[in-house]
Amino acid sequence: MTADQHSHDTTDKSQAKTARTSSWRKLLPVLILIAGLVLAWASGVVDYLSFETLRENRETLQAFVAENPVLSVVAFMASYAIAVALSLPVGSLLTIVGGFLFGAWFGTTYVVIAATIGATVVYLAARYAFYDLMHAKAGNAIRKMEAGFAENAFSYLMVLRLVPLFPFWLVNLVPALLGVKFRSFVMGTAIGIIPGTFVYVSIGDGLGALFDQGKTPDLGVIFEPRILTPIIGLAILALVPVIYKKFRNRNGGTNT
């Protein structure tokens, strides 16, 4: 083996090692989130979060909020953001807790900010870990889907956030893999979750009265026609720019 061949082999091995190290570094944020999710389930914290637990500790929680207004808001928002980042299935319950502790308007504000932060963590982790890999291996169909989604990313994301057809965690992942820009993701998430958030926070605002009656709220209330219909109306409005753009392009193509 000549010196040049030896040098070439050494370079190839070094590049391969660097590539493997880079791949692991990219996966690290996702692995941390997965580890946090497993730890949360193993610790039983998900089972502990329930209306029964809230009922039993309602006076303690309300006293803590009254005595520590700033700390209670920070603790609540941090807990909510972590729950969203770990994709724990407690979003609806925590949203109701926000209304119970802080009222409808402040609760909605805190939940929207915290949920957007948590969703953005998932988006950034997925994009950093998987976007380049998917883009390199994607076929033409995926590339066309990516181009179409990216062109109207804000409108599509608004619809996905407004209408609860897909799990929240899934809507955090898909835009990251389809190359949705950071700004569009954050704005679409923050604005799109406001109506649904306000519904659940308003339930929490009246939760004390339900507890006094020995009742618990119905988490399926969002699917009632009187609530879902106006939300669907907002989703249709969000699609208006997309429909207009397609109509304009079609007319332009016909005229030419």
pLDDT, tens digit, 9 for 90 and up, residues 132-170: 666 666 656 566 667 777 778 888 899 889 988 888 988
For residues 121-139, give the mean pLDDT: 78
Global pTM value: 0.84
SS3 assignment, position 86: coil
Could you tell me if 92 and 201 are in contact, meaning their C-beta atoms sit under 8 angstroms apart? no
d(CA 15, CA 11): 6
What pLDDT score does 23 carry? 67
In the chain, % helix, strand, coil (3-state, to 5) comes to 85, 0, 15
SS3 assignment, position 127: helix
For residues 247-254, give the mean pLDDT: 66
- Domain coordinates in residue numbering, the chain: 3-255
